[in-house]
Amino acid sequence: MIIEAVIFDKDGTLFDFRATWEAWARSFLLGITNQNLERAVFVGEQIGFDLATNTFQRDSIVIAHPVAEIAHALVPHLPEYTVDVVLDRLNSEAENVPQVEAVALVPFLEILQARSLKLGVATNDAEAPARIHLKSAGVLGHFDFIAGFDSGHGAKPAPGQLLAFATAMDIAPDRVVMVGDSAHDLLAGQAAGMQTIGVLTGIAEADDLAPYADAVLPDIGHLPDWIER
Give ∠ CA 101-58-24 in degrees, rounded to 5: 50
Single out the residue in 46, 77, 94 at which a domain terminates.
Answer: 94
Do residues 85 and 108 both lie within one domain?
A: no
Return left, alpha or beta for 217; rule: phi > 0 is left, psi -120 to 50 is alpha, else beta: beta
Do residues 75 and 123 both lie within one domain?
A: no
The pLDDT, as a whole number, for residue 97 is 84
The per-residue pLDDT string of the chain (229 residues; one tens digit each, 9 = 90 and over) reads: 799 999 999 999 999 998 888 888 999 999 999 999 999 999 999 999 999 999 998 889 988 788 899 999 999 999 999 999 999 999 888 888 889 999 999 999 999 999 999 999 999 999 999 999 999 999 999 999 999 999 999 999 999 999 999 999 999 999 999 999 999 999 999 999 999 999 999 999 999 999 999 999 999 999 999 999 8
Provide the domain count of the chain: 2
Q: Measure the CA–CA gap between 93 and 72, rounded to whole angstroms.
A: 17
The alpha-helical segments, DSSP class H, found in 35-182 are: 37-46, 61-64, 67-74, 83-94, 105-114, 127-136, 160-169
Do residues 45 and 132 both lie within one domain?
A: no
Do residues 67 and 164 both lie within one domain?
A: no
Do residues 146 and 47 both lie within one domain?
A: no
Give the predicted TM-score (pTM) of the model.
Answer: 0.87
Do residues 134 and 168 both lie within one domain?
A: yes
The pLDDT, as a whole number, for residue 201 is 97
Do residues 173 and 217 both lie within one domain?
A: yes
Whether the CA torsion 150, 156, 160, 166 is positive or negative: it is positive
Do residues 74 and 105 both lie within one domain?
A: no
Q: Measure the CA–CA gap between 180 and 11, rounded to whole angstroms.
A: 9
Do residues 162 and 108 both lie within one domain?
A: yes
Single out the residue in 94, 116, 141 at which a domain terminates.
Answer: 94
- Residue closest to 188 by CA, chosen among 199, 201, 177: 177
Do residues 104 and 166 both lie within one domain?
A: yes
Q: What is the pLDDT of residues 35-66, one digit of tens each?
A: 999 999 999 999 999 999 999 988 899 887 88
Q: Measure the CA–CA gap between 56 and 46, rounded to whole angstroms.
A: 11
The pLDDT, as a whole number, for residue 196 is 98
Do residues 121 and 150 both lie within one domain?
A: yes
Do residues 120 and 178 both lie within one domain?
A: yes
| Domain limits for position 188 | 5-16+100-228
Single out the residue in 94, 121, 139 at which a domain terminates.
Answer: 94
The pLDDT, as a whole number, for residue 65 is 85
The pLDDT, as a whole number, for residue 114 is 97
